[in-house]
Amino acid sequence: MIDDLRAMVVFAKTVESGSFRGAAKELKLTPSVVSHHISRLEERLGVTLLYRSTRRLSLTDDGNKLFRASQKIIEAATEGLDAIAGHSSEPSGNLSLTVPAMLARDQLVQNIAAFADKYPKVNLSISFSDLQQDLIQGGIDLAIRIGGLKDSALKSKRLFVMKRKLVASPSLLKRNSQPKHPEDLKSWDWIGLKMRPNHKILVNQSGDHYQIDYQPRIIVDSLEAVCQLAIAGTGLASPPAFMVKDALESGQLIEPIKNWDIESLGVYAVWPPNATRESLTYRLISFLAEQQERRV
């Protein structure tokens, strides 16, 4: 039984890393030992678990079933160990995060700083980028993402809702007729954000929704750049409200259409499915959620 459990751990790690060499590195074994464990497991079960080639591995149907079972066993064991460790010592270790660059000025960053202050033995590595990164491939513990989430095996939790503003420069408004309905904005120049779809949903006070599909004249990969280009008069934009608060107050930007607001977006914590309830990842997620509840 113990040999089978050990082989299941080796098998699961091989699937997660995508290679015998990757699993061997994480488990501090040799690739030949990893291969031996999986071969013995296949002989023991009388099935093929992995198809092997020189460059990649792929799961068979039986392999996929065993992988899911192995994950549950490993997660249960890790939860127990984490629970014991959590009671016996101060949380410590390394956490890697990726956060949209646009949120660098948001309260969220202050909340992350408060977490670091509360747990001084936890080391944080934070990547601020508006381009989404692959958590599994990049070995990232937690991502903060904005807007609708793609279907995946990742887990998620909504932290808060981010309000946005539809804005334009006074010069852009002068070049176009005063809009009375969102449809009037279709012919305007728009500034696109590389990681967002080319459509906007506007909502009025009656709860009516109107979707505008557009082809952006300029596409960038930074919301800071979107704001500056909007101020320069190159097109309509819908950045987070906090990013254009000062520009709206100073008159550098205006809201071009009355009685219609741009739809707000959810801000989510996203993490790999094998993170346990007692892990540092969950501890940070819970902390951020609590801070947001206080903020509201």
Averaged pLDDT, groups of 10, the chain, 296 residues long: 78 84 84 88 87 76 86 73 57 90 88 93 91 82 84 82 94 92 92 88 90 92 92 95 94 93 91 74 90 70
Three-state DSSP at 271 gives strand
Q: Name the residue type at position 163.
A: K
Equal CATH topology for 2-87 and 90-155+267-295 = no
Q: Which helix (DSSP H) or strand (DSSP E) does residue 277 occupy? A: none
Q: What global pTM score does this model have?
A: 0.64
**CB neighbour list of residue 56: distance below 8 Å, 6 or more residues apart:** 18, 19
CATH 1.25.40.20, domain 90-155+267-295, yes or no: no
Q: Which residue has the tokens 């792929």?
A: 58
pLDDT for the residue 282: 87
CA trace torsion 268, 269, 270, 276 (10° rounding): -150
CATH fit for domain 2-87, picks 3.30.450.20, 1.10.10.10, 3.60.130.10, 1.20.1560.10: 1.10.10.10
CA distance 179 to 186: 10
Q: Which residue has the tokens 């008069």?
A: 233
CATH fit for domain 170-263, picks 3.30.70.270, 3.40.50.2300, 3.40.190.10, 3.30.70.1090: 3.40.190.10
pLDDT for the residue 151: 57
What one-character-per-residue DSSP string does 96-110 give? EEEE-GGGGGSHHHH
pLDDT for the residue 112: 94
Q: Where are the domains of the chain?
A: 2-87, 90-155+267-295, 170-263
CA distance 123 to 49: 37
**Residue 238 and residue 163 in contact, taking contact as beta carbons nearer than 8 Å:** no
